[in-house]
C-alpha cells in the first residue's frame, strides 16, 4: 500500500509522540518528528525521520528550514505562526 499522507509530530521523542508515531506508521503514514533531543534507543523507530532542533529559537529554526523543505512541511508551519 502506498503512503498517501505525511505527519509532522512536534515532540516525537517523548512518551506520547512515540506512541502516536507508532500508530501513524501502522496506518501507513510517513512520519517526521521534530524534537530537541534524540530518542533513546528502545524508542527509536526505523521509518521515522528525526529532526533535532528547538523550534522556539527562530534564528536556529530558519537554518533548519532547508531540511523541512525536503518534506514540504514548511508552508504549513509558517502559515500557522
Tens of pLDDT, residue by residue over 16-75, are 999 999 999 999 999 998 888 888 788 889 999 888 777 777 766 666 666 666 555 555
- Superfamily in which the 6-80 domain is placed by CATH: NAD(P)-binding Rossmann-like Domain (3.40.50.720)
- pLDDT at residue 78, as a whole number: 53
Q: In this structure, what DSSP letter does residue 64 have?
A: T
List of E strands, the chain: 6-10, 30-35, 48-52
- pLDDT at residue 75, as a whole number: 54
- pLDDT at residue 29, as a whole number: 92
Every domain of the chain and the residues it spans: 6-80
Full-model pTM: 0.66
- CA pair distance 67, 44, nearest whole angstrom: 20
Tell which residue, 63, 41, 42, has the closest CA to residue 51: 63
Amino acid at each position: 500500500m502506498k503512503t498517501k499522507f505525511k505527519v509532522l509530530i512536534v515532540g516525537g521523542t517523548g512518551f506520547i509522540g512515540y506512541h502516536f508515531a507508532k500508530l501513524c506508521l501502522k496506518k501507513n503514514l510517513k512520519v517526521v518528528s521534530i524534537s530537541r533531543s534524540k530518542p533513546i534507543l528502545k524508542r527509536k523507530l526505523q521509518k521515522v525521520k528525526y529532526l533535532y532542533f528547538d523550534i522556539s529559537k527562530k534564528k536556529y529554526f530558519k537554518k533548519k528550514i532547508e531540511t523541512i523543505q525536503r518534506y514540504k512541511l514548511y508552508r504549513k508551519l509558517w502559515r500557522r505562526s
